[in-house]
Amino acid sequence: MTREREVLVRFRPSGREAFVLPGTRLVEAAAEAGLLIDVPCGGEGSCGKCRLIVVSGAAEPTTIERKWFSDEELQAGWRLACQSAVDGPAEVDIPSVSLATVEQKILVRYQKKNQGKVSELFSGKGVPTPFSDPPVRKQYVELSSPTRGDDLPDALRLERALGVGPLAMDVSLLRELSARLREAGFCGTAVLAGDRLLDFEVGNTEADAFAVAVDLGTTTLAGELMDLGTGSEWATTARLNPQTRFGDDVLSRILHAREKPDGLARLQEAVVSAVDEMIGELCLQAGVPRQRVYELAVAGNTTMQQLFCGVDPGPLGEVPFVPTGGRGVSCPAAELGLHIHPRGGVYVMPAIGGFVGGDTVAGLLATGLTDVQRPALFVDIGTNGEIVLLADGRLSAASTAAGPAFEGARISRGMRGGPGAIEKVVVDGRLRINVIGNVPPAGICGSGLIDAAAELLRHRLLSCEGRLRTPDQCAPLAEPMPPDLAERIVLHDGQISFLLADEAETADGRPIVLTQRDIRELQLASGAIRAGIAILLRRAGLEPKDLELVLIGGGFGNFIRRGNAQRIGLLPIEIERRHIRYMGNTSLAGARLAALSGQARRAAEELARRAEHVDLSTDTDFSREFAEAMIFPEGAASE
């Protein structure tokens, strides 16, 4: 019997390698090499997304691959990672679009590009730098071995070498410490969380210390892996919150937790296992073992945070909508079922109130809003829209149920901002769209939705009341309507709709349209937010024009175009456009600071208690404001 030999597969451009048995699918070989290839269809060969080029050592194409590629492409080595198996040593090019990392980075990348710009507006004081007072630090030490003349207990010997003490430690570590010190020859790396010894690692592992930040969105979960020492990003990921199968919004999940058997346990299990999988993806992307992740910081709205911690959200579903906690929660990650270092910790952001949660606190932390000396507004657009007004040094915070439209949910062809999403819509003579990842469009994300509605308003194909019009229903315009635009008003499933991409252009051969119902969803979402802004301004005795800074947060795709956000009435038209800044996913950015800095955590606790919690549902003006905000602003159509 001959022993089967493993063969070498080399991946470019990373240069990573893996030894695998012949017959191993390329997707598995890549994973073996630490490269995560995106397989949206689960490896059935039905989506064609996991394409790559086998430069040398290509196997015969499968029947499925013959459907996806021309003969020329197959000849050039194009294959599907989920179908093609290794049959000898091979060299493989992975196009970056096939790597999961590319998709995943979309949702977290932009706010960084922008944070630099916006921070110039601030004095900077009080904004914690990400790397001050890290929650976990490492120190390599060489201890003298015990002798009869120096028989200090092991833990005290370590304290002496570190020059610190007294150090506390968990019994689980105490049980391992003596063996670990001896295994390490009394040289190794102490992992310290304040005055607590988390671990003693063999060898010098000072450079290997990581933290994970998670934005726990109602619709979307986003995560990032950072170096605890330098703060640099090593990997990012995002996915649909699996709790959406129990309901789109927080209220439906509160009901599910209350009324279904094991409802709370199932909601918690869904989100915790998703976050745990995300940690696994982040670690795989970066080639970092899970046990080198020592801290996790999580930001979400109050309901999401309670569900994550397994705390019954029942009281959040009835008057007067009271959260259980309030302070940030610090607990062992293992206690929540998360797999990082066995003694690693989780920090869950403090909440302001039942409607304004840790995601908003994270946003305040990340934007440094409170350092601004002028009237300023922070709006975090997600499934809930959270609004914080800073006026005369006082913070007031409210939340409105915007719904998941900006994240692509409840929109007929909506999707979140990943490859294939139409993220930008411009009409200059003809319709032009921009698709994330430079691939055929597969749907539309939040920023594209705002653009499309704004352009339709501008060309009077959409009335101020939100009715899509055929060209002949439109009032005469100063300049004639571009013919391309007029032709795109179509009947789709019996509704007047706007055609963004026809069946020949799309990834799945189905046209992408914006329906009358989609427009209604958008009106509800933006109306809710604008009504909230109006109430907070009125309570402070301010007008929209008084605002000298408006910071927009949210992970809904890509840049939000300020003018278009005003055109559709998401933001009051009276705000000077130069004062509006898009900050990206501020919840994730704040969670990142908390993951990297104890000082940031203390600042978050203080911010949460400083903000006044405003319950919009008790405001008698809210319904009227909401109804008014449903109407697109008059001025918008004429601009």
Residues near a copy of itself, by CB under 8 A: 146-148, 150-157, 166-168, 170-172, 174-175, 177-179, 182, 309-312, 314-315, 319-327, 329-331, 335-336, 351, 353-354, 605, 613, 615, 618
Instruction: Tell me the C-alpha distance between 380 and 498, whole Å.
Output: 28
Reported as type and span, the H/E element at residue 446 is helix 446-458
**Minimum CB–partner distance for residue 348 and a copy of itself (Å):** 9
End-to-end CA distance of the chain: 80
Instruction: Tell me the C-alpha distance between 328 and 350, whole Å.
Output: 4
Count of C-beta atoms within a 10 Å radius of residue 419: 22
**Minimum CB–partner distance for residue 549 and a copy of itself (Å):** 28
Q: Is the dihedral of CA 289, 212, 95, 31 positive or negative?
A: positive
**Minimum CB–partner distance for residue 181 and a copy of itself (Å):** 9
**Minimum CB–partner distance for residue 614 and a copy of itself (Å):** 10
7-12 β-sheet, strand order: 17-20, 7-12, 90-93, 51-56, 78-80
Q: Closer CB to a copy of itself, residue 149 or residue 429? A: 149
Q: Closer CB to a copy of itself, residue 51 or residue 613? A: 613
Q: Closer CB to a copy of itself, residue 272 or residue 481? A: 272
- Give the distance, in angstroms, between the CA of residue 245 and the centroid of all CA atoms in the same chain: 19
Q: Closer CB to a copy of itself, residue 129 or residue 144? A: 144
Concatenated DSSP letters of 238-250: EEE-GGGGG-SSH
Q: Closer CB to a copy of itself, residue 151 or residue 428? A: 151
**Minimum CB–partner distance for residue 355 and a copy of itself (Å):** 9
Instruction: Tell me the C-alpha distance between 68 and 46, whole Å.
Output: 9
Residue 104 CB-density burial (10 A; 0-12 exposed, 13-18 middle, 19+ buried): buried
**Minimum CB–partner distance for residue 320 and a copy of itself (Å):** 4
Q: Closer CB to a copy of itself, residue 323 or residue 466? A: 323
**Minimum CB–partner distance for residue 315 and a copy of itself (Å):** 5
Dihedral, CA atoms, 318, 321, 323, 324, nearest 10 degrees?
Answer: -40
Bond before 480 cis per omega within 30 degrees: no
Instruction: Tell me the C-alpha distance between 78 and 65, whole Å.
Output: 9
**Minimum CB–partner distance for residue 156 and a copy of itself (Å):** 4
**Minimum CB–partner distance for residue 224 and a copy of itself (Å):** 24
Q: Tally the C-alpha atoms within 13 A of residue 99's C-alpha that lie toward its C-beta.
A: 23
Q: Closer CB to a copy of itself, residue 400 or residue 566? A: 400
Matching residue, tokens 């079922």: 337
Count of C-beta atoms within a 10 Å radius of residue 453: 28
Q: Is the dihedral of CA 464, 467, 471, 474 positive or negative?
A: negative
Q: Closer CB to a copy of itself, residue 339 or residue 520? A: 339
Count of C-beta atoms within a 10 Å radius of residue 559: 15
- Give the distance, in angstroms, between the CA of residue 333 and the centroid of all CA atoms in the same chain: 20
Q: Closer CB to a copy of itself, residue 88 or residue 337? A: 337
Q: Closer CB to a copy of itself, residue 129 or residue 145? A: 145
Q: Closer CB to a copy of itself, residue 156 or residue 627? A: 156
Concatenated DSSP letters of 214-279: EEE-SSEEEEEEEETTT--EEEEEEEE-GGGGG-SSHHHHHHHHHHSTTHHHHHHHHHHHHHHHHH
**Minimum CB–partner distance for residue 579 and a copy of itself (Å):** 32
**Minimum CB–partner distance for residue 332 and a copy of itself (Å):** 9
Answer yes or no: are the C-beta atoms of 318 and 303 closer than 8 Å.
no
- Provide the token pair at 133: 């007072």
